[in-house]
Chains A and B, each alone.
Chain A
Amino acid sequence: MAKITYIEHDGTEHVVDVEDGLTVMEGAVRNMVPGIDADCGGACACATCHVYVDENWTGKTGERSSMEESMLDFADDVRDNSRLSCQIKVSGALDGLVVRMPEEQG
Chain B
Amino acid sequence: MAWPNIMEVSSLTHGTLIIGGGQAGLSAAAELRKRKYDAPITLLCGEDALPYQRPPLSKAYLSGDTPLDRLWLKPEGFFEKADITVRTGVRAKALDRSAGEVLTEAGERLGYDDLILATGGEARRLPIPGAELEGVHVLRTLAEADRLSEALDKAERLVIIGAGYIGLEVAASAVKRGKQVTVLEAEDRPMARTASSLLSGWFGAIHRGYGVDLRVGAAASRIEGDAQVTGVKTGDEVIEADLVLIAAGLVPNVTLAEAAGLEVRDGIEVDGHARTSDPHIYAVGDVARFTLPRYGRSVRLESVQNAIDQAKAAAQAILGESKPYDPVPWFWSDQYELKLQIAGLIDGSDTLVRRGDPEEGKFALFHLKDGALIACEAVNCPPEYMAAQRMIAAGARPDPEKLRDQSVAMKDFLS
Residue pair A74, B383 in contact (C-beta under 8 Å): yes
- Choose one: A29, A42, A45; the contact of B341 (CB below 8 Å): A45
A2-10, A53-61, A65-73, A95-103 - interface stretch: A65-73
> Is A47 part of the contact surface with B, judged by Cβ < 8 Å?
yes
Residue pair A26, B70 in contact (C-beta under 8 Å): yes
Residue pair B56, A73 in contact (C-beta under 8 Å): no
B73-81, B152-160, B282-290, B365-373 - interface stretch: B73-81
- Residues of chain B within 8 A (CB-CB) of A70 are 381-383, 386
1/0 contact string of B289-332 vs chain A (CB within 8 Å): 00000000000000011001000000000000000000000101
- Residues of chain A within 8 A (CB-CB) of B411 are 73-74
Interface residues of B in 138-157 (CB under 8 A from A): none
Residue pair A47, B386 in contact (C-beta under 8 Å): yes
B interface residues with partner A (beta carbon < 8 Å) = 34, 53, 55-56, 70, 73-75, 77-78, 81, 304-305, 308, 330, 332, 334, 339, 341, 380-383, 386-387, 389-390, 411, 414
Residue pair B339, A44 in contact (C-beta under 8 Å): yes
- Residues of chain B within 8 A (CB-CB) of A22 are 70
A43 to B55, CA, bound (A): 10
Beyond A29-B74, A39-B305, whether A74 also contacts B386 by CB under 8 A is yes
Residue pair A71, B382 in contact (C-beta under 8 Å): yes
Q: Categorize the interface residue count of chain A.
A: 20 to 34
- Residues of chain B within 8 A (CB-CB) of A26 are 70
Tell me the interface secondary structure of chain A in the complex: loop
> Is A92 part of the contact surface with B, judged by Cβ < 8 Å?
no
Residue pair A74, B387 in contact (C-beta under 8 Å): yes
- Residues of chain B within 8 A (CB-CB) of A74 are 383, 386-387, 389-390, 411, 414
Closest CB in chain B relative to A21 CB, distance in Å = 9
A interface residues with partner B (beta carbon < 8 Å) = 22, 26, 29-32, 34, 39-47, 67, 70-71, 73-74
Residue pair B75, A32 in contact (C-beta under 8 Å): yes
- Residues of chain A within 8 A (CB-CB) of B77 are 32
- Residues of chain B within 8 A (CB-CB) of A44 are 339, 382
Closest CB in chain A relative to B406 CB, distance in Å = 13
Residue pair A39, B304 in contact (C-beta under 8 Å): yes
Residue of A nearest to B382 (CB): A70
Residue of B nearest to A23 (CB): B70
A41 to B334, CA, bound (A): 13
A39 to B56, CA, bound (A): 13
Closest CB in chain A relative to B334 CB, distance in Å = 7
Beyond A39-B304, A40-B304, A45-B341, whether A32 also contacts B81 by CB under 8 A is yes
A39 to B70, CA, bound (A): 14
